[in-house]
Amino acid sequence: MATIGLISLGCPRNLVDSEIMLGLLKKDGFKVTEDLSRCDSAVINTCSFIEDAKKESIDLILRVIDLKKENRIKSIIVAGCLPQRYPSELNKELKEIDAFIGTSDFIKLPRIVRDTLKGKRILEVSKRPSFLADHTHARSLITPDHLVYLKIAEGCNNRCSYCVIPAIRGVLRSRRMKSLLKETRALTAAHKISEINLIGQDTTLYGTDHGGKPLLSELLKKLAGLKAARWLRLLYTHPEHYTDELIAVIKNEPSICKYADLPLQHINGRVLKSMNRGINKKKILELISRLRHEIPGLAIRTAFIVGFPGETEKEFKELVEFIKDIKFERLGVFEYSREEGTRAYGFKGQIPEKVKQERLDVIMRLQQEISEGINAGYMGRELTALIDTVIARTPSEAKRPKQSQKQDCFGPAGLAMTYEGRTEFDAPEVDGTCFIRSKKRHKPGDFVRVKIIDTLEYDLVGEEK
C-alpha cells in the first residue's frame, strides 16, 4: 500500500481537519508519514486566512513540487483553505499539482489519492462548503497525546468586513451535542488526555443555528460532567455573544480554565463599526469589568488589528491607551491584511505597510512591559502546571531550553529546568511557558504544583513543591 505524507498548516481548526484526513487514510489502509521526502503522495492542508499564511502555503507547495521533479514523490494533493479560495487560479498556474481539494471535500481524500497515483488530475472544490465532521470520523491525533482540540462548529455568520472565513468555510454549522460527547468519550478512552480545547470560528455562537439559543454553556456543563480531562479550555469567543449562563459556568466549573480567549480587534467605535464587529466600546468595557469581577484570577487573551483602513493616528492612540489601562494578561497584534473578497478590501484609506509595522511595534513593546509586570506578580506563588515536554530526566541532565527572551530560563543561581509546561492561564502554542525544575520523574500530561522562583517577559520559572 502507498505511503502518504501529510503536512498541516494554519490554526487548530485546520489541524483537526488534518487529523480527520489521517484517520481516513489509515482506515483505508494507507501508511502515513510526516516525512514528505519519503512518501508516494504528499498532502498539504493549507491556510489562506491572511497574506502571510498564503505565502507560507505557497512556499511549501513549491518546495514539494521540487521533490516531485526529482522523482521522489509521485503525486501532490493541495487541500483546505487555499484551493477553496483560489480553485481555478491554482489549477491553472500549478500544473505540477495532481489534485486540489476544498474545505468540504477532504472526506474524499482516500479515493483522490488513489486516482492521482494512477495519473489522474483532479479539482474537487465545492462552491458552498457544507461538510461537518462528527464522531463517526475517526481522527489520528497530531497533537501530543495529553491534549486535544475539539471542534464544536464549522463556519461563521459574523461577516466581519476584513475576514474571508465565511467564504472559505461557509455559514455556521454547529455539531450535535451528543456527537461531541461521544467523540470526547472515544478520545479519552484511547488517550490519557489532560486538556481539551474547544474550538470553532466563534464558539460563543455554538447551537444558535439549531433554534436560535446559544448552547455553549450547556455543552460545557456536560463535558465537565464527563470528567474526561482535568482542564477544559474555551477558545475563539466573541465579546458580543457572552451570556449570563456562559459566565456562570466558567466561574463555577472547576475543570474549566479561568482563561478567556477574547479577540477584540479594536476599541475605537468608528473602527469597530467599520469592521462590522457588532459591539461598541462601552459594551467591551462592561464585559471586561464583569468578567474580572465575576471570575477572580481570570486571564484574558485578546488580539488586535492595527492599520485597518482609515485608522487615524488618534484612533490608534485610543487603542494604545486602552491597552495601557486594561493590562491584558495575554495579547497578540496583527497588521491588517487586505484580502480579496472582503468588504474592507475596497475601503478607502488603506494604510501604508510601514505605518502598520510601526503601530504593531508600539503595541508589542507596550505589551512586553505589561506582561513582565503581570508575571512579576506571580513571584513566590504556588500554581498548578501541566507538563508538556520533558527537557531532561534529572536537573543535572537538563539542557538550556530554546526561547526568544534575552534572559535565559535557568532561574536563580543558574538552576537548570527539567520540564516545560503551562499554567491554566496559557493556551498551547500561543501563550507563555512555565519552565519547571523538579527532582521527580514525570511525563507529558502530568500535573504538578510549582512555586514560582523567577519570571521573564512572557514565561515563568517554577520549582516543584
Q: With beta carbons less than 8 A apart as the criterion, state whether 359 and 316 touch.
A: yes
Q: What is the mean pLDDT of the segment spanning 31-50?
A: 92
Domain 147-376 is classified in which CATH homologous superfamily?
tm_1862 like domain (3.80.30.20)
Q: With beta carbons less than 8 A apart as the criterion, state whether 69 and 103 touch.
A: no
The alpha carbon of residue 222 and the mean position of all alpha carbons in its chain are separated, in whole angstroms, by 23
Q: What is the mean pLDDT of the segment spanning 176-197?
A: 96
Q: pLDDT averaged over the chain? A: 93
Cα four-point dihedral sign 259, 265, 267, 273: negative
Q: Which three cell numbers stand for residue 147?
A: 491534549
pLDDT, position 153: 98
Give per-residue pLDDT as tens, 245-299: 999 999 999 999 999 999 999 999 999 999 999 999 999 999 999 999 999 999 9
pLDDT band at 416 (very low <50, low <70, confident <90, very high): low
pTM of the model: 0.93
pLDDT, position 211: 84
Q: What is the mean pLDDT of the segment spanning 8-18?
A: 96
Task: Phi first, then psi: give them for residue 388, nearest 5 degrees.
Answer: -100, -35
Q: Which residues contact 93 (CB under 8 A, 6 or more apart)?
A: none
pLDDT higher than threshold 50 for residue 410:
no
The CATH classification number of 3-124 equals 3.40.50.12160
Neighbours of 414 (CB within 10 A): 7
Domain 382-464 has CATH 2.40.50.140: yes
pLDDT higher than threshold 50 for residue 193:
yes
Single out the residue of 264, 340, 277, 278 nearest to residue 306, CA to CA. Answer: 264
Q: Which three cell numbers stand for residue 427?
A: 493556551
pLDDT higher than threshold 60 for residue 224:
yes
pLDDT higher than threshold 70 for residue 35:
yes
High-pLDDT (> 70) share of the chain, %: 94
Neighbours of 72 (CB within 10 A): 15
pLDDT higher than threshold 50 for residue 37:
yes
Q: Which residues contact 425 (CB under 8 A, 6 or more apart)?
A: 257, 258, 259, 299, 329, 330, 431
Q: How far apart are CA 260 and CA 233, in angstroms?
A: 9
Q: What is the mean pLDDT of the segment spanning 104-127?
A: 96
- Largest Cα span, the chain: 64
Q: How far apart are CA 217 and CA 172, in angstroms?
A: 18
Q: What is the mean pLDDT of the segment spanning 318-324?
A: 98
Please state the domain extents for the chain: 3-124, 147-376, 382-464
Q: How far apart are CA 60 and CA 198, in angstroms?
A: 28
What is the three-state SS of the chain? CCEEEEEECCCHHHHHHHHHHHHHHHHCCCEEECCHHHCCEEEEEECCCCHHHHHHHHHHHHHHHHHHHCCCCCEEEEEEHHHHHCHHHHHHHCCCCCEEECCCCHHHHHHHHHHHHCCCCEEECCCCCCCCCCCCCCCCCCCCCCEEEEECEECCCCCCCCCCHHHHHCCCEECCHHHHHHHHHHHHHHCCCCEEEEECCCHHHCCHHHCCCCCHHHHHHHHHHHCCCCEEEECCCCHHHCCHHHHHHHHHCCCECCEEECCCECCCHHHHHHHCCCCCHHHHHHHHHHHHHHCCCCEEEEEEEECCCCCCHHHHHHHHHHHHHHCCCEEEEEECCCCCCCHHHHCCCCCCHHHHHHHHHHHHHHHHHHHHHHHHCCCCCEEEEEEEEECCCCHHHCCCCCCCCCCCCCCHHHCCCCEEEEECCCCCCCCCCEEEECCCCCCCCCEEEEEEEEECCCCEEEEEC
